[in-house]
Amino acid sequence: MENVVVKELILKPDVTGMRLDIFVAGAKVDLTRSQAQRLIEAGLVLVGGLPRKANYKLRPGDEISLTVPEAEPPKAEPQNIPLDILYEDAEVIVINKPPGLVVHPAAGNYDGTLVNALLYHCGKLSSIGGDFRPGIVHRIDKDTSGVIVAAKTDRAHTALAAGFKRHEHSREYLAVVVGNPKDTEATVTVSIGRHITDRKKMSAVTFRGRTATTHYKVLERYGSAALLSLRLATGRTHQIRVHMAHIGLPLAGDRTYGGPNAGKLLGMKVPRQMLHARMLGFRHPATGEYMEFTAEIPPDMARLLDFLRNKKN
């Protein structure tokens, strides 16, 4: 990040009492008022070393400091990154995404993403997602592995997006959870929205949640852990991770929603949340044919399952 630090003693009568966002926008760092407000909301503007709200009224002696992030690059660029391709034609491409690969460029991850790899391999993707998300119809988290489809043409993108919105697709995930589920099969229906205090997280305890439903089935039990098959009736951000944590079955390795002990399970280190998009089914955007693709679990998840099975025995 580029650190642009502004330090001024607020002594002038015409500045005292001014809103913080208005002052920041006029601080000669080429920011609009809306940009200034976003910096303030992100905690990048400090008054006397402390974050303040946009409507904070400046006082004599206040010292203001702000950090302005680097400007975003104009668009995603092609990069030669290996892909595990499950299917490809002129309209779509289906990938088995490895854990650790970010789906599309964003703040802090402008390259090395699935989009960069797809642009190199395909040459061109659907333009509907814009410069940073070309071809991206849906996404899975960086540390979640498994099947994801991307659109090569605008026609394919529009048709796939409509199918996802109408819930015409099929999705199955595999997850290792900490705890022993009471029921062999169950459904979790709990609204999900932004966390009340941590805006980077989602939560089942929120002011403006959207209804979310997850169906799960226990495939294997290991005493203090279990392997679940999960199917989504909705597609909210972090839905499986939030729902499982909400019912006391956090995903193994999920440090965001599983707490400080999520990194170890029965003494074995778990490097990421153990969530794998095993199956994705959808209607082909050109032919209307239903197509279904599956991906084997990645090596790190396979090692954890072998460890749990051996511990059980």
Higher pLDDT, 36 or 279: 279
Summarize the confidence of residues 128-150 as an average pLDDT: 92
More confident: 203 or 72: 203
In the residue annotation, 141 being an active-site residue is answered as yes
Residues paired with 186 in a beta bridge: 216
The full 3-state SS of 208-276, as one line of letters, equals CCECCEEEEEEEEECCCEEEEEEEECCCCCCHHHHHHHHCCCCECCCCCCCCCCCCEECCEECCCCCEE
Confidence bin at 1 (pLDDT 50/70/90): very low
Active-site residue among 62, 141, 143, 254?
A: 141
pLDDT in tens, 186-223: 999 999 988 877 767 888 887 778 899 999 999 999 98
- Tell me the H-state helices in the chain: 20-25, 33-41, 114-122, 154-165, 239-246, 299-312
Whats the size of the chain, residue-wise? Answer: 313
Nearest to 87 by CA among 156, 164, 174, 166: 156
For residue 91, what are the CA distances in angstroms to 55, 122, 266, 279? 49, 11, 45, 20
- Amino acid, res. 129: G
